[in-house]
Structure 1
């Protein structure tokens, strides 16, 4: 797809304001996605990607097994770091309300090739996250009813039977979410809103019940009791929080489908992370306090599913687990949607193989169908790795998190350099956060004098956490020994992804005679809109 001039503006899609279309045209793009999402739908996009019920239930056992009760304190530490990142993203969402946010932001803050790699790592990471979210069904469904264990008898996700069963159920879920992603975006948004509402209600109810059934006081969280001691609780135990508290940028990813995105997206990015941070932290603490035992080994293998069914009884526990299933389905849908928008955004700049097909948007549904199918098929292929070995479950989960953290750092890093060089302030064209109408004299969202210190913390945190996640610890990635490729899986996958991206850019440069830049150079932010 080629960029359009600001005067080449199509009639507004359903629910879209003319100023939003004009503003998008100012960036060089036509309004093709239907702009129907309001504030709650935008919030739901970020919250459902994070999906505290999905990810806390999926990784609670892992964090506890390494850090013991003290792994709870890694949660506020990770949340503080991610809030620094989210504040930077909120500024950028107010300035660049575009689909494929990470790619678009990094490209405009640095160079096209660097921005392309940020988008490349991000979209591959998102597809891996889709697979990891779909695999989470195995943590919950067999605990509700043994009949969901279609293969073998051992439901533990790290067993051969559990891994194979997880792959089968994940494939069925991906077929469902891909179908929904091919429907009208109003249907997708409605499913997302309903699911998020059910997840929030369920999470609050679970928190209340866990705290009212507490077996011990919060002082227990100062004991490690895991395999890694105090340092292990901080570094390895932080994987749980690191995996959960990602995806808040999805509100920015769907900016071209959101009404008044300059105002809406910054607020919903921060609200999604804050709400998920509070609920997730309470879930972790409640699980530790209400567990029947911290020493029988079950909390480190079965996680919160064990706590709910053992503490609250099978009946109520299973009802609450059913709500977790809803959260997993909606999370998988939301992450796949976010990945498809990233693919669409890069494709319309001609930056992906098969770009012309991937950049097509159905005029009837307002959905990019090619990217949705590609994201679903890619995630399904990754899920099949679970059939090769049970260790693939953990390798897949940590790999996707590391890739997203790397992509985030490829935004906050260039943003920090722009600030330090004085190229990111207020003003027209190349500078500050754009205003709108009567608000043109002030930013819609700005960190002001706190921009540099917040940005420094965000960048440092992102780099350190990426290294922490990718570090090849044998005790984490290859506990049984004999599988060196699992120990180095994250590092190897990152290198392979980078090499594949570099190969594509070299091929493209040779074929097109250009140095890997987008087919149409992205326009700078308009000074104002309205």
Structure 2
């Protein structure tokens, strides 16, 4: 079934007032009232996806880990992961054009399958996003102490693998979460401005780092084939791929912010793909440049100090520290963007009365256009997770990989039903706000969708596999070795318990809400009659 939203036949560049009215009418077609302020343009949408990925944050955070297992050959995991994630992003771009709604993964999975399956996808996704917020905040530890020793507030060892470093990472991370939560409580135009400025600074800084490191290269690219440092065979490369897998997530944030984006059917699909492509290419070049410019591949420093060591040793302490300040800004903006994305997921599920305490979580401030309760919940839970770093330095890796596993599974809970829907027919057609056909993979849809699903499931299993050498190298903390499977099982158990107790009442309450604030039609009602059909 194909249904065209009221905004589908707008001319290319309508006046802003008329365009936003049409966008709001399109949202009403799905049963939701326009409550979030629709103020984001194309670059802001791109920034939402790019800042979640945050090349500088994640490459600096996980370079040492990837190199310690894969050696120079771990460079090839980056283009491999980029290809797999581009397949996922292309599938998501199709859905962003057809369903420009906050709570992207939750909304898409629900409309592709059913309300129960979609609820579990959203539940896994939102808890995974909260873990990502905590993992991103931990990245300050790899950049701030090298800038100034005064940032090492706990002990003297700055390595995040040490007890001092892990504890200090938690302190810095919690301080950052206080800041990002405060920004998320301000007007969404302020949040968007901070995001755009931060992304611009990150792109400029990343390009500058790549150029400078290539200018200081001591060896050729053949080192990525022949080795020359640490690392083992294929199994080690599968572990080394964790770094790239962690970097290239969150591109769906451009779809997550659809209700705040002007002309979302036209803008979101393009920004999903461009954000991932730009970040993936830039990250791959950054890794390659670091390998070619590193003072040594065998002295052990790349596997412990990572990119901070390369910058300060090759570019001098002055320039190196200045660039590390740019990386610190990128970490802050990434944490802000991820927290914002998680708040939108909480908000989207809550307005369908699909979460505990849905009333407060679904409330949007008319003044700021922000849902304040979700921002406080995400910030508080992420800060609580950071306290695990006081227990053991192994916690940071468990937190980092767990969030990736959760997001990869949630992604598969979209691409799986999407493939089934595609095999049964075709995705609904239509036009975007400019009158052009909605983004579509056409005849490439099935093979790309198959690749996206197989890649996502394979990577999720690879990440969650309880390798003692990876998750509990010092021994004595078996729960970190099994942290990802246990966290996932706990997530499903808590979700199932809540649904058994509250879902029938929630569904009845949602049905009775009629045209209430943002719940004109619950997602369950929207899919009951047509599955994948539009509201």
TM-score, reference length from structure 1: 0.93
The equivalent residue for 2:429 is 433
The equivalent residue for 1:463 is 457
The equivalent residue for 1:377 is 380
The equivalent residue for 1:110 is 113
Aligned equivalents of 1:515 and 1:472: distance in 2?
A: 42
Aligned equivalents of 1:359 and 1:147: distance in 2?
A: 41
1:476 aligns with 2:470: yes
Judged with a 3 Å threshold, the aligned counterparts in structure 2 of structure 1 residues 146 and 405 are, in CA distance, closer, same or farther, namely same
Question: What stretches of structure 1 of length at least 5 have no aligned partner?
Answer: 7-11, 426-431
Aligned equivalents of 1:527 and 1:117: distance in 2?
A: 21
The equivalent residue for 1:60 is 63
1:105-136 Cα shifts (integer Å, max 9, x gaps): 00000011110010011100100000000010
Aligned equivalents of 1:437 and 1:257: distance in 2?
A: 15
The equivalent residue for 2:400 is 397
Describe the SS at the equivalent of 2:526.
coil
The equivalent residue for 1:409 is 412
| 1:15–1:34 contact (8 Å) kept in structure 2 | no
1:332 aligns with 2:356: no
Which one of 386, 390, 414 corresponds to residue 387 of structure 1?
390
Aligned equivalents of 2:270 and 2:399: distance in 1?
A: 31
| 2:69–2:237 contact (8 Å) kept in structure 1 | no
| 1:67–1:224 contact (8 Å) kept in structure 2 | no
| 1:15–1:35 contact (8 Å) kept in structure 2 | no
CA shift at 1:51, angstroms?
Answer: 0.1
Judged with a 3 Å threshold, the aligned counterparts in structure 2 of structure 1 residues 223 and 261 are, in CA distance, closer, same or farther, namely same
Aligned equivalents of 2:40 and 2:237: distance in 1?
A: 39
Judged with a 3 Å threshold, the aligned counterparts in structure 2 of structure 1 residues 170 and 14 are, in CA distance, closer, same or farther, namely farther
| 1:24–1:31 contact (8 Å) kept in structure 2 | yes
Q: Which moved more, 1:54-63 or 1:486-495?
A: 486-495
Aligned equivalents of 1:395 and 1:13: distance in 2?
A: 46
Which one of 310, 318, 340 corresponds to residue 307 of structure 1?
310
Q: Which moved more, 1:230-239 or 1:283-292?
A: 230-239
The equivalent residue for 2:525 is 521
Aligned equivalents of 2:69 and 2:478: distance in 1?
A: 20
Question: Aligned pair count?
Answer: 510
| 1:226–1:233 contact (8 Å) kept in structure 2 | no
1:257 aligns with 2:251: no
Question: What stretches of structure 2 of length at least 5 have no aligned partner?
Answer: 7-14, 512-521
Higher RCO structure (Cα 8 Å, ≥6 apart): 2
Which one of 136, 145, 150 corresponds to residue 147 of structure 1?
150
CA shift at 1:433, angstroms?
Answer: 3.4
| 2:353–2:507 contact (8 Å) kept in structure 1 | no
Describe the SS at the equivalent of 1:236.
helix
Describe the SS at the equivalent of 1:472.
coil
1:450 aligns with 2:423: no
Aligned equivalents of 2:383 and 2:18: distance in 1?
A: 34
Aligned equivalents of 1:220 and 1:229: distance in 2?
A: 14
| 2:266–2:433 contact (8 Å) kept in structure 1 | no
| 2:129–2:342 contact (8 Å) kept in structure 1 | yes
Describe the SS at the equivalent of 2:367.
coil
